[in-house]
Amino acid sequence: MRWNRIAVVVTKELRELWRDRITMVVCLLMPLVMLFLFGYAINLDVEDVPLAVVDHDRTPQSRALIERFVQSDYFYHAVDLNSSQEAETALLHSRAKVALVIPAGFHKDLIKGSSPAVQLLVDGTYSATALLVAAYANAIVTRFPTPAIERVRAEYRVWYNPAMRSIHYIVPGLYGVILMAFPPLLMALAIVREKESGSIQQIYASPLTSSEFIAGKLIPYAAVAYLQILMVIALGYFWFAIPFRGEPWLLLASSAVYVMTTVGIGLLVSAVTRTQLVAMLLALIVTLMPSFLFSGFLFPILTMPLVLQLYSRLFPASPFMDISRGVILKGADLETLWPNLLLLVAYTLVVFILAAALLKKKVA
């Protein structure tokens, strides 16, 4: 073994790394990015849950019960409503995660010494957090002081996922994760592979424009990605028996926009990388990891710090996750989900504009 030969190889590799600045940045930042993302994003504690209040009693006793919720670290008074129907709308639009309905005559029942009942409406989309939210609310209600021995009773109704089965929100969430994991990676590797082999120079020397080149690359991978989403939706409905309460056309149309977004991200990754290894690492960093942590797939966004809640909106998986679960579990319509769909369209346009600018045809 000759150390001088090893030194020559080491020097050569260091020079290549130094010349490839993208590889250096990815290698140095990836451990830090993962450390901060996992350290701050994973939080199973439930606090600052938006509470909707329907107070039909409007007495000092009912206000005292509401104040009990507000004084805890678990809830904040998000909105006052006039009926249970308005509470259902608030849960549908995610303006609240739990609704407290206090019936008329609540204070009279307290004075009589009977056991008054209040109603708690819980959004069961996230079964794990729904159980915690229900338990916290029940503890606040049952510990409310009364003149008699009997305590205030809480009657539960869990909407959208009455059985609170985790598979009912995991599988619709997986639709967004799967489309964010594979199409961008395949698209990026397809173009970077040509860069490595040098065959892309033939494209640069051909009469093809950059938009034609992008379209020719995009269409096959977009078709494959859309076939993927059709397969997983069908499998989720027929094999996992996931309820489908909304309009299929809305989910399929939103999926088509999301497919174009994810393939466009792969196109953008290929525009800034020159090797397949770097393309693979960068694609995983900007697609798969955020789709797990910052989309609401496993961990509700409301449990994250405010900065990370805003940060999560920079990734298209988050609005598509809202669309997927909204259509499938809640039966939400276009009037409810159009802001998320509009955000996906805007994201797609931005990605393609950047990719087209970076992949602008060169003169051979």
Q: Which residue has the tokens 């994991």?
A: 181
pLDDT by residue (tens digit) across 222-279? 888 888 888 888 888 888 888 888 899 999 999 999 988 988 898 888 888 888 888 8
CA angle (235 as vertex; 234, 240 as ends), nearest 5? 120
Ranges 105-114, 204-213, 291-300: which has the least confidence: 204-213
Strand partners, 77: 51
- Number of other residues whose CB lies within 10 A of the CB of residue 353: 12
CA–CA gap between residue 88 and residue 96 (Å, rounded): 9
| pTM: predicted TM-score of the whole model, two decimal places | 0.69
pLDDT for the residue numbered 295: 82
Identify the burial level of 275 via C-beta atoms within 10 angstroms of its C-beta, where 0-12 means exposed, 13-18 middle and 19 or more buried: middle
CA 109 vs CA 25, 57, 92, 340: distances in Å:
67, 11, 31, 45
Domains in the chain: ranges and CATH: 49-159 (3.40.1710.10), 166-358 (no CATH)
pLDDT for the residue numbered 252: 92
- For the segment 34-56, the average pLDDT, to the nearest whole number, is 71
- For the segment 271-294, the average pLDDT, to the nearest whole number, is 83
User: Distance of alpha carbon 297 from its chain centroid, rounded?
Assistant: 5
pLDDT for the residue numbered 362: 43
CA–CA gap between residue 60 and residue 76 (Å, rounded): 19
pLDDT for the residue numbered 199: 66
pLDDT by residue (tens digit) across 263-274? 889 888 888 888
Q: Where are the beta strands (DSSP E) in 64-192?
A: 75-81, 98-102, 117-123, 153-159
Q: Which residue has the tokens 């599988």?
A: 171
pLDDT for the residue numbered 81: 94
117-123 β-sheet, strand order: 75-81, 49-55, 98-102, 117-123, 153-159
CA–CA gap between residue 159 and residue 315 (Å, rounded): 28
pLDDT for the residue numbered 163: 62
